[in-house]
């Protein structure tokens, strides 16, 4: 029987100027917001104090913007980077042009802005992604541009084969760095 494993896309498969639409959307609840906010030690009253937030310009608590960002990026993983990413290199831009409230649903998409082979890591490439999140009404609530390091298919398969051939040896990638889980 043939087996198909869920994974992200390799460097070779990612296309620029294509919008990857992720599903499902994610409704952000009061429980999500309070848990995330308290887990991350963010005591901002806009996220936790309903009575105080009611006196502020939006008239209610806001979903923590870091929860919005995490959900925005997380929604892309299964489709784009599951098992194919080497590292998250950083964020160049992050913006939250519209607030997210309890009960709003975040719909996410990603565009590959550019990609280039890594100059220092053969078999890997740097991919710049633009993530966008819209709420259920179509309002843009988040935008982030991030850079990632992604395997090429051939290099990743070679690294995995080498690791399987010598299971007692720490898996190393094409430039001798310790590799992560497949």
Q: Is the peptide bond before 24 cis (omega within 30 degrees of 0)?
A: yes
Residue 5 has a pLDDT of 86
Residue with tokens 């087996």: 3
What's the CA gap between 139 and 50, in Å, rounded?
24
Residue 70 has a pLDDT of 98
What's the CA gap between 125 and 67, in Å, rounded?
28
Residues 6+ apart with CB under 8 A from 101: 58, 60, 61, 62, 63
Residue 168 has a pLDDT of 64
Residue 182 has a pLDDT of 42
Residue 114 has a pLDDT of 97
* Residue 32 parent element (H or E): helix 30-39
Q: Residue 149, Cβ neighbours under 10 Å: how many?
A: 17
Residue 53 has a pLDDT of 98
Positions in the chain whose pLDDT score sits under 50: 174, 180-182
């Amino acid at each position: 029987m043939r087996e198909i494993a869920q994974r992200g896309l390799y460097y070779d498969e990612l296309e620029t100027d294509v919008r990857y639409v992720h599903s499902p959307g994610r409704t952000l609840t009061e429980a999500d917001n309070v848990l995330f906010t308290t887990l991350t030690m963010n005591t901002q009253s806009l996220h936790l104090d309903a009575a105080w937030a009611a006196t502020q310009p939006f008239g209610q608590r806001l979903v923590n913007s870091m929860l919005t960002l995490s959900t925005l990026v997380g929604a892309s993983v299964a489709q784009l980077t599951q098992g194919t990413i080497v590292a998250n290199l950083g964020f160049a831009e992050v913006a939250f042009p519209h607030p997210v409230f309890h009960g709003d649903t975040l719909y996410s998409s990603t565009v590959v802005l550019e990609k280039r082979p890594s100059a220092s890591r053969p078999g890997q490439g740097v991919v710049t992604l633009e993530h966008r999140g819209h709420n259920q009404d179509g309002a843009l609530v988040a935008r982030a541009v991030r850079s990632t390091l992604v395997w090429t298919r051939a290099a990743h398969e070679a690294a995995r084969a080498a690791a399987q051939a010598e299971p007692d040896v720490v898996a190393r990638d094409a430039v001798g760095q310790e590799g992560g889980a497949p």
